[in-house]
Amino acid sequence: MQNQVSQYQQMGKDILDAIGGSANVTSVTHCMTRLRFILKDNSLPQDDQVSTIDGVIGVNRSAGQYQVIIGQTVDKVYDAVCALGGFTKAKPINEDIDTQPIAKTTFSWRRLGATVMNKLAGSLTPMIPMLVAASMFKMFAAVLGPSMLHILTGSSDMYRLLTFVGDAGFYFFPIVIGYTAAKQFNTSPIVAMFLGAIMVHPELIKIVTAGKPFSVFGIPMHLVNYSSTVIPIILSVWLMSYVEHTLKKYVPAALSTIFVPTLTIIIMLPLTLCVVGPAGGFLGTYICNGILAFGKLGGLPTILAIGVIGALWELLVMTGMRLVMITTMMMLIAQAGQDNFVTLGAAAASISVAGMCVGAALRLKDPKQKALAWSYLLASIVGGVTEPALYGIAVRYKRTFLGMMIGGFAGAIYAALTHVAAYVVVPVANFLCLTAYVHSDVGNLINGIISGVIAFVVAAIATYIIGVEKKPHKASKQALVHDAKTVEG
């Protein structure tokens, strides 16, 4: 135990030295696998030098952060870094994504795009546990119900329970996202949830279903059903943050408890129901319809597009850009009931990571690296955490990245050729991602599983055949040897 503590302390010291010392650190926190530094001078760290520290899997620069990928022992290294640098410990980030705010700096379209992505990430990814649970209930209903195994009848209490519990996870999106978005936009979570509840109130649904004109304070309201929608509530909470902030500036503190939330909702009602909500609903609907239509076109362009998603998905994971695709996936399933495009590539790519681990483990000669490769396989295929494999194998031994991409491409192509569709959101990267294909059409599930098997096998074979580059080794803590580029095996 003492040796392990010393090891973490040494790692913490080496990392701090390599990034410019504790004086260069503004703040530091961690997520599931990464140390996340906000640095005063981002030019001081040398990525190659940091990557060669024993125990460090890789580095990444994203959203104004300098991220050091450690793996499952990141909390121990974080404790050591905080002790050595005298930093105040921060609450861990539950999502292994880039949700931290970007440091204030001059405007650029790139920074604006990064900010939008961060806000989307922070609003949507906390929902993943709920989506996983809801999707599992929907899967059980589909498998056990009258559409597949006929174990449960459509009128049985158990079938009805599984159905409405699964649907609840999607139907009440505006309420749940109201809370998560409020956290991102620094506004009242409870008031934001209240706004989301208004958007899915049964009376509003009844008004929309009736199709008769309705007005909000005399302003005509667009008849939109906001249940299972994503964009309208995010836009509304974003706008609400400005409304609430302005009211707090002008309403006396003694009266703010009563008047700020009340006036916020009064102002937001016409803005949400007559302007922002319909605009967001229109945008979300046409994005979904456009993607579904593209997926249904068939032919070589669509098949190749799905294959490209399978090949490049893990690159999106590493850069934090997968949020665009995940958001699309959520909208498609929630609003259209299926996704015949994004999930096909994403699921194949996730399984291909495990295949790459197998190919690399069989090819590597170094016992320590071989053992790590097998551990990455378990973390990926069972735990659903792909980053250790991505940074420990794909980035460290660059040729393996190609094997993984080939596997993802092959699995996605098969899914596209067999017209597979996903019917539940299963936003995990382990083998359970294939349960997204559960449906009354058993062939859909079978082909979905086959696509995963193809991704795994092809990635393993391709990685083994292509070979594994030896990782450049260190001459010291401060220097690299760059001439070790032979292929192992």
Q: Which residues belong to the active site?
A: 31
User: What are the respective helix, strand and coil percentages of the chain, to the nearest 5?
Assistant: 65, 5, 30
Reading the block at residue 187, the tokens are 């506004």
Closest to 169 in 3D by CA, of 334, 338, 336: 334
> Measuring CA to CA, how many Å separate 375 from each of 212, 368, 385?
60, 11, 11
Instruction: Report which of 382, 352, 368, 374 is spatially closest to residue 456, judged by C-alpha positions.
Output: 352
Residue identified by tokens 């793996």 is: 71
Give the residue among 170, 190, 167 at the shortest CA–CA distance from 180: 190
Q: Which residues contact 466 (CB under 8 A, 6 or more apart)?
A: 399, 400, 402, 403
- What per-residue string of b and e applies to 59-81 under the rule 16 or more CB within 10 Å gives b? bbebbbbbbbbbbeebebbbbbb
Please tell me the distance from the alpha carbon of residue 412 to that of residue 340, in angstroms, as a whole number: 11
| 65, containing H or E segment | strand 65-69
Token pair, residue 244, equals: 């609430």
Question: Which of 203, 205, 174 is CA-nearest to residue 272?
Answer: 174
Give which of 376, 435, 356, 338 is closest to 136, Cα–Cα.
Answer: 435
User: Measuring CA to CA, which residue among 82, 70, 63 is closest to residue 16?
Assistant: 82
Q: Tell me which residue of 391, 357, 378 sits closest to 462, measured CA to CA.
A: 357
Total number of residues shown for the chain: 489
Question: Cβ distance 35 to 77 under 8 Å?
Answer: yes
